């Protein structure tokens, strides 16, 4: 006579344990998931545009590509590939010369920083705002240098330091190569191309 109530009580307890176990597994996952709408509305903590204002940096006009088959940047998904840029001109005069002959390391780094400003101008032109940059992914820095010059990384630091100043310590650092060249287009001292991860 007492078997049926005991069996019913046993089944009820098993049911409660099953529900509790399922809740213990699913509830934490449910709370961990951020609704897409909330994630998209969340603004980045670091504003590159505000940082530009704080640093009192002005971006140069976007230089038009010299060839019909060349574009300044190409976006594929969440990646923005920027074509190689040179330092342009300073006070109306084109920056040309060879590092180790016409420029020392510090002057080369200044030229690389100028290249960085031109690349930022391209990025803003493509995205509408530098705040859409998630991070710098890859930099290829090319230095027009004498055969015995060995400080290519120190020259490209002019570009890399600018990226950190604008995008921050984490987002402004990416993989990087710094190489020497026997010559560069138009005799420019530095040419740099860069890849950025960007948001919609």
Please give the pLDDT value at position 60.
94
Summarize pLDDT for 138-173 with one digit per residue, the tens. Answer: 999 999 999 999 999 999 999 999 999 999 999 999
What is the model's pTM? 0.77
CATH number of 48-198: 3.30.1330.40
Nearest to 82 by CA among 112, 118, 108: 118
For the segment 56-67, the average pLDDT, to the nearest whole number, is 85
Domain boundaries, the chain: 3-33, 48-198
Inter-CA distances, 5 with 2, 8, 11, 84, Å: 6, 5, 10, 81
Dihedral class, residue 50 (left if φ above 0, else alpha if ψ from -120 to 50, else beta): alpha
The answer to whether the Cα torsion of 56, 119, 193, 126 is positive or negative is: positive
């Amino acid at each position: 006579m007492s078997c049926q109530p005991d069996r019913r009580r046993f089944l009820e307890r098993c049911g409660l344990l099953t529900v509790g176990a399922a809740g213990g597994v699913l509830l934490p996952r449910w709370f961990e998931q951020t609704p897409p709408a909330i994630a998209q509305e969340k603004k980045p903590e670091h504003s590159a545009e505000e940082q530009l204002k704080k640093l009192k940096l002005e971006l140069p006009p976007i230089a038009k590509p010299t060839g019909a088959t060349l574009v300044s940047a190409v976006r594929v998904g969440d990646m923005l590939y920027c074509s190689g840029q040179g330092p342009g001109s300073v006070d109306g005069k084109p920056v040309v010369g060879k590092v180790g002959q016409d420029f020392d390391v510090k002057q080369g780094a200044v030229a690389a920083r100028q290249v960085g400003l031109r690349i930022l101008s391209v990025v803003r032109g493509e995205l509408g705002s530098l705040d859409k940059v998630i991070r710098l992914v890859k930099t290829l820095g090319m230095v027009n240098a004498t055969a015995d010059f060995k400080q290519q990384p120190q020259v490209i630091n002019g570009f890399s330091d600018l990226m950190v100043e604008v995008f921050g310590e984490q987002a402004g650092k990416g993989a990087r190569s710094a190489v020497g060249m026997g010559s560069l287009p138009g005799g420019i001292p530095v040419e740099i191309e860069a890849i950025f991860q960007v948001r919609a």
